[in-house]
Amino acid sequence: MNPSQEILEQSPPSDIAAEAWVIGSMMLAPSAIDELGFLRPKDFYSEDLRTVFTALVEMYHAGQPIDGGLLLKRFPGDEWAARFAEMLHATPTAAHAVHYGKIVAKLSKWRHLRDVGENLIQQAHRAEGEPETLLDAVESELAGVQLTGDDDAPVTLADAAVQAIVHLDEIERRGKSAGVPTGLSSFDEDQGGMFPGELVILAARPGCGKTSLGLQVAAHNAERGRLVYFASLEMSAAELSIRLACGDSGVSNRLVRIGKFGEGDSQRLSDALRRQAQSTLEIHDRSMLTVAAIRREIRKRKKRGLTLAVIDYLQLIAPEDRRLPREQQVARMVRQLKETAREYEIPILCLCQLNRQADGDEAPRLSQLRESGAIEQDADVVIFLQRHEPKDGETHNAILTIAKNRNGETGPLRLDWDAARTRFSVPGHAEFSEYRGDSW
């Protein structure tokens, strides 16, 4: 028998005495149940004590008094009476209930990690399916092992005010918003950019330029030395590189695709591509990415100072459970992306398709977000991009509409679309990157 097999055949880590002290503390001082809110029944290794813990919590929240008589009605018999008396006698003091609870919670996490490892060994031994699928599942399981204790407890308004003062002082010191800029002057000046912890949805019909705009936002930040992660589920990294080079050099993307280079085009493209060698934009061009895989890449780069993540696009993300209805799959992915943005304190710009009802001259509506109303519910900001036919002296040929903004204003912004260079700019600004409002 190898050492690994011997370890797995041993009993999982647990402390039955600490679990009994938790129960004893709850019986001695029922008010301790409020302080033990971080514990869950599954944290108890002893099935009997898990059952008693559940009953005590139910009684407490139902407003029932917790005493020996009522408890014995739920757990009749001399054996239970003896066990309750033993736990009360063995509990040193109810004042240490939280300490006992933390011991139980910590060992519960060790058992969870052990289960994940054992499951990994079993599935890896069978060697069925794709290794990446198993890796994504393990990543999701490990991400679910949350730290418990006082760290996730609610904060007082006084504590929140102190944090707000520090945040406002930082904004005043920098003289600008704490948001991550898009490079569109009108948006950055009016909205302050995109903020850490926010999920920003950029939605459009196919062919309206949402990939181009998402890529420009990513490049705008990377050109200023910020680390940006771009998950491309549709286009290859080489295609995106050429698109950026065409926008940077002024060479028509269409002419490049058909191989008709003008005088000096090759040199301008070469110069633009050489400038990309210094870029901090990292492109992940893999189809069928899952949210777990994207989350893993974000976590790796957060340690290196990741500022922004861009995903192109939502409907191409592979669902983790294909048995669910499509609407539920999309809803779960949107919720996971929002949780990822909050956990790693970065804005996530996720591109999204609108359904066919958005075709036409009217402004798109939130109800036209394709496949899920959860996008409208969970996103912090929803932006629509649409082409516009200039009329009555207008010059702009695209409109960016902020349809939802959890922390700001909504409304339309005018844009100019350069189809040859696949670039957007703000009217009055010759180049997308001319806006210098961001100084960090």
Say if CB 172 and CB 333 are below 8 A apart. Answer: no
pLDDT score at 438: 37
Same domain, 94 and 189: no
- As given in the structure block, the two tokens for residue 291 are 């949210």
Average pLDDT, consecutive stretches of 10 residues, N- to C-terminus, the chain (440 residues): 64 90 91 87 91 89 82 87 89 89 92 86 80 72 56 64 68 62 81 88 84 89 90 86 78 70 75 81 86 87 90 86 82 89 91 74 69 76 78 70 81 79 70 37
Given 143, 166, 189, the domain boundary residue is 143
Same domain, 122 and 186: no
Quick check: is 330 in a domain? yes
Parallel, antiparallel, or unpaired: how do β-strands 381-387 and 281-285 relate? unpaired
3-class state of residue 403 by DSSP: strand
| 120-137 pLDDT, tens digit each | 888 888 887 777 777 767
Quick check: is 338 in a domain? yes
Same domain, 124 and 16: yes
Same domain, 188 and 332: yes
Tokens 């589920």 sit on residue = 233
- Calpha distance 192→2 (Å, rounded): 59
Q: Which residues contact 332 (CB under 8 A, 6 or more apart)?
A: 319, 320, 321, 324
Quick check: is 385 in a domain? yes
pLDDT score at 20: 92
Given 143, 164, 185, the domain boundary residue is 143
Parallel, antiparallel, or unpaired: how do β-strands 281-285 and 423-425 relate? unpaired
Same domain, 113 and 186: no
3-class state of residue 52 by DSSP: helix
pTM for the whole structure: 0.66
Could you list the residue range(s) of the whole structural domain that residue 60 is in?
3-143
Same domain, 94 and 225: no
Quick check: is 32 in a domain? yes
> Per this entry, what is the length of the chain?
440
Residue 40, domain CATH: 1.10.860.10
Taking alpha carbons only, the member of 364, 363, 361 closest to residue 376 is: 364
Same domain, 342 and 260: yes
Given 91, 121, 143, the domain boundary residue is 143
Quick check: is 439 in a domain? no
Residue 403, domain CATH: 3.40.50.300
Backbone angles phi, psi at 352, to 5 degrees: -150, 150
- Calpha distance 18→354 (Å, rounded): 54
Quick check: is 218 in a domain? yes
Same domain, 236 and 355: yes
Whole-angstrom CA distances from 58 to 52, 65, 92, 198 are: 10, 11, 24, 36
Alpha helices in 91-175 (DSSP H): 97-126, 131-143, 157-174
Quick check: is 159 in a domain? no
Same domain, 233 and 362: yes
Q: Based on the structure, what is the number of domains in the chain?
A: 2
Whole-angstrom CA distances from 330 to 110, 157, 159, 180, 308 are: 32, 35, 36, 26, 22
pLDDT score at 439: 33
Same domain, 116 and 221: no
Alpha helices in 286-325 (DSSP H): 291-302
Backbone angles phi, psi at 347, to 5 degrees: -80, 140
Cα of first residue to Cα of last residue in the chain, in angstroms, is: 59
pLDDT score at 252: 73
Same domain, 196 and 296: yes
Quick check: is 149 in a domain? no
Q: Which residues contact 273 (CB under 8 A, 6 or more apart)?
A: 241, 245
Taking alpha carbons only, the member of 376, 255, 370, 380 closest to residue 313 is: 370
Q: How many other C-beta atoms lie within 10 A of the C-beta of residue 434?
A: 12
pLDDT score at 360: 62
- For residue 50, give the H/E element and its range: helix 47-61
- Calpha distance 137→290 (Å, rounded): 10
Parallel, antiparallel, or unpaired: how do β-strands 398-405 and 411-418 relate? antiparallel
Same domain, 357 and 212: yes
